[in-house]
Structure 1
Amino acid sequence: MPNNRLIDHNETQFKKHVVTLAPGVWTAVGFAASTQHMIEGETSVTIIDTSESTGAATNVLAAFRELTDKPIEQIIYTHSHRDHISGATVFSEGRDVPILASAGFSSDLVGQDETRIAPNKALGRRTMAQFGIGLSPSERISLGCGPGDRPMEGMGAGHIPPNQLISNDQEIDLDGVTARLIHAPGETADHMAVWLPDAKILFPGDNWYHAFPNLYAIRGTPYRDFAKWAETLGNLADLGAEVLAPGHTQPVFGAEKVREVLMTTRAAILHVMQHTADGMDAGHSMDDIAASLTLPDDLADKPWLGEFYGKASWSARAFATGTLGWYDGNPTHLGTLSSAKRAQHMADLAGGVEALFEQAKQAEDLQWRLELCDHLIALGAPAQGLKADTMVTLAETEINATARNTYLWEAKKLREGETS
């Protein structure tokens, strides 16, 4: 039985509907992994973010068209993640329209030079695992950031590169609606928040959503600057928004609540940074730092800091690597053993491969069982089935959607005979 909190998160945060934020301002939730927003002007509308697929964008546009038939004259990207920029061809409706984005707009999944030296195959595989591509809707109950069951037609197919790049914070006119575009580095360096000062509505992109922030995505990402993200959340909180319409999950209403969710998320990021820095300064191992990291009581009880998408222990590892690199200060780790050699030493200690296999079968600690399975597989022992079964067991209690998806996806691949 999947984790009940994850099921509830999926049912409440990704309920499919269009939410009225204020007269003439709407958010579409649950149609896609991300949310899409529409702002009605005097004779036209502006769209903020366009979803990850043309299939999802088509459904959102149909829902928006029930509200107004005014032409879409402008599109704004809050940032370059594929789930926000891949339905623009649907919303532009065959016309050339201004598409605004930060001058730093740069996606790690769209428009990359395939000739550069980079682990593109690894990124692709890990992205599929994180989002459970190929799992059934019942297996992939949630993306952590969106519903598990959503349109996949035209995935990534509807992107249009931005044609108006914004270098500085600036006020713009959305056909009679005043908006301010604010550079807001956080989940990505190219984030740009949209602020409607008259209606006091804030579109923060992915700098806030109803989950522990994805400070490190297990698909693999460049370092996300924790300090800048925390600073941005403080700056956004100071705007005094009365409505917060995030890039994922349901909007938040009420000035007090908006400030609370932004500032407590900022505090959670700062706590991860401080805990990790203190541990590194004390010479603790990265394993011990990650294993001992918990949120303070005044943060741990906040529903929007549940680890449905991001995870604190992963964040600690990312902060350590992003600030001081891979070396953890323990000179033992300046050298290395191959997986096979380390596995052979482990088998020798256990009394042979068969004895090691028996230890793995009997291990009650599931994480330890996985590690023993890796040693056995490195030695050529047939432990793939045991590892797959263990990952499925872990997935059933896991609150983090991306961890659950990865366990199930990798288990499926092991059973199909894939090892990497």
Structure 2
Amino acid sequence: MPAHPDLVAQNAQFTKKIHHIAGPVYSAVGYAASNVHFLVGEAGIVLIDTTETTQAAENIFADFRKISDLPITTIIYTHSHRDHISGATVFAEGRDVEVIAADNFMSDLVDVDTTRPAPNAALMTRTKRHFGISLAPDERISVGVGPGDRPMKGMGAGYIEPTLRISQTTQMTREGFDLELAKAPGETPDHLVVWWAGERVLFSGDNFYHAFPNLYAIRGTPYRDFDAWADAMDQLMAYEPAVLAPGHTQPVLGQEAIKAALTDYRDAIRFVVSHTVEGMNAGLDPITIAADLKLPEGLRDKPYLQEFYGHVGYASQAYFAGTLGWFDGNPTSLGKLPAAREATKFIALTGGAAAVADAAKQALAEDDTQWALELADRLIAADSNASTGRAIKIQALHIMADRTVNAPTRNYYILAARELREQDS
């Protein structure tokens, strides 16, 4: 299926391989959305993260057993997102193992309070669209920070509860490795980074990967603290690592290359904050602020800041909502009409559903696909010539999916189009 060539090229990051990154340390990349890191000691192995499914864990472990047959004795979770914690039982092989995490290890995917109302169905629907779950491998080019062809059997099934929780920077020795575990909130508040000074290797979790950071996930997430994430880059740089082993994409090698990447990552986050705050203080709404927002020269062309996963415009809108809330400052928005009511009035004003449908078709012909989507949405919301609206929207979504470099957006467009098609089948 067609896709933006830069997004296709990003697949080079996901070549399935167990990388030897330093000394007795290895990183499994390309087997699933997230990486698994092995620190091989004399009598056992320290494992950092466990991937997203039991099937992926089994595939990784089978290949790693060609390198070492030592048992896993310690597992460290960098954070609580499901794609990092779901293969632990496979690596434990039925033994009791030490499992280490931050003391605030919890997210929208782990330790959810089931006694309180939660948008679980909405989150699941949007998560499937975000990651392109149910798309064929040739449809799902990638997830932005992981391969498109991912084993899905056992998703979330292999989680083991932590046995040790870290509340502050902690020095520990495991299997001969003198390690430092430090809290470093970024993509999640519960992030831990792991530092092995012996070969100057830093395991950064999802605080860095080879794509613009996912400051807001369109699957739906609580507000992510932009300033904390930017500060984490300074925290990582202070180690002066020679090897950076991220939770997604390939390792970064060389102290200068790592410093440059982390500096640019930090500056990109801070730019989004400063640009958005400038617009907020000028009284602009979040859509206007985010429209056509681009990173400044010197950052926008960096390979690890391309919008394969995170998106600059989405991030800006998330910062607005996370700091000022949903209200855009326009008093009209305080009593805004529901979509169906507004659409009915709009269609009547423009001369009827046929006129709106013709305008939407014209927008498609003129390559104004976003306007075509918005017109189609009014037909659908008002249930007036809705089947034509769905057909136009499906066509526009596929055009936009082919053009975007952002993998979650592409997946979301394609699956949303499929769902619309199924309504009329």
TM-score in terms of structure 1 length: 0.98
The AA in structure 1 aligned to 2:409 is: A
1:385 is matched with 391
- Work out the CA distance in 2 between the residues paired with 1:60 and 1:111: 26
Residues 222-267 of structure 1: CA distance to partner in whole angstroms, max 9, x if unpaired? 0000000000111101210010010000000000000111110000
1:107 Cα offset (Å): 2.7
Q: What secondary structure, in the 3-state scheme, does the structure 1 residue paired with 2:299 have?
A: helix
User: Aligned-pair distance for 1:345?
Assistant: 2.4
How many angstroms apart in 2 are the aligned matches of 1:292 and 1:31? 35
User: CA contact under 8 A between 1:227 and 1:270: conserved in structure 2?
Assistant: yes
Aligned twin of 2:370: 367
Once the 2 structures are TM-superposed, how far is the Cα of residue 118 of structure 1 from its aligned partner? Answer: 1.6
Q: Residue 127 of structure 1 aligns with which residue?
A: 127
- Report deviation, 1:418: 8.4
**Distance of 2:114 and 2:423 partners within structure 1:** 28
2:72 alignment partner in structure 1:
72
Answer yes or no: is the 8 Å Cα contact 1:370–1:387 preserved in 2.
Answer: yes
- The one-letter code of the counterpart of 1:7 is V
Please give the alpha-carbon distance, in whole angstroms, between the structure 2 residues aligned to 1:145 and 1:106. Answer: 22
* Structure-2 residue corresponding to 1:400: 406
Tell me by how many angstroms 1:23 deviates. Answer: 1.6
Aligned counterpart, 2:252: 252
Equivalent residue in structure 1 for 2:418, among 403, 412, 420: 412
| Superposition RMSD in Å | 1.2
Deviation, structure 1 residue 110: 3.2
Matched, 1:158 2:164: no
How far apart are the structure 2 equivalents of 1:73 and 1:320?
44
Q: Deviations over 1:304-335 (max 9, x none)?
A: 00000000000001000101101121112111
Distance 2:141 2:295 in 1: 26
Counterparts in 2 of 1:82 and 1:418: CA distance versus 1, 3 Å: farther
Gaps of 5+ in 2: none
8 A contact 2:211–2:305 mirrored in 1: yes
Matches within 5 A, 1:177-256: 177-256=177-256
State the one-letter code of the partner of 1:406: Y
User: How far 1:349 moved relative to its partner?
Assistant: 2.9
Residues 1:317 and 2:311 are matched in the alignment: no
- Whether the 8 Å CA contact 2:51–2:87 is kept in 1: the answer is yes
- What is the TM-score when the length of structure 2 is the normalising length? 0.97
* Greater Cα shift, 358-367 or 341-350: 341-350
Aligned partner of residue 126 in structure 1, secondary structure: helix
Residue matched to 1:326:
326
Shift in alpha-carbon separation, 1:418–1:110, aligned structure 2, 3 A:
farther
Contact kept, 8 Å, 1:82 with 1:107, in 2: the verdict is no
Alignment-derived partner of residue 7 in structure 1: 8
Is the Cα–Cα contact under 8 Å of residues 34 and 83 in structure 1 kept in the other structure? Answer: yes
1:279-318 to 2 correspondence within 5 Å?
279-318=279-318
Partner of 1:376: 379
Query: Distance between the aligned counterparts of 1:268 and 1:128, measured in 2?
Result: 28
Return the offset for 1:72. Answer: 0.8
In 1: Cα distance, 2:24 partner to 2:105 partner: 28
1:211 touches 1:305 (CA, 8 Å); kept in 2?
yes
- 1:202–1:241: 8 Å Cα contact kept in structure 2? yes
More displaced 10-residue stretch of structure 1: 140-149 or 330-339 = 330-339
Q: Deviations over 1:119-164 (max 9, x none)?
A: 1110000000000111111110101120010111111111111111
Q: In the aligned structure 2, how far is the partner of 1:91 from the partner of 1:157?
A: 13
Quick one: which amino acid aligns to residue 4 of structure 1?
P
Cα distance, 1:115 vs. partner?
A: 3.3
Following TM superposition, by how much is the alpha carbon of 1:290 offset from its aligned partner in structure 2, in angstroms?
A: 0.4
Partner in structure 1 of residue 274 of structure 2: 274
Equivalent residue, structure 1, for 2:32: 32
State the distance in 2 between where 1:137 and 1:57 align: 19
- Give me the whole-angstrom Cα distance separating, in 2, the residues matched to 1:344 and 1:252: 54
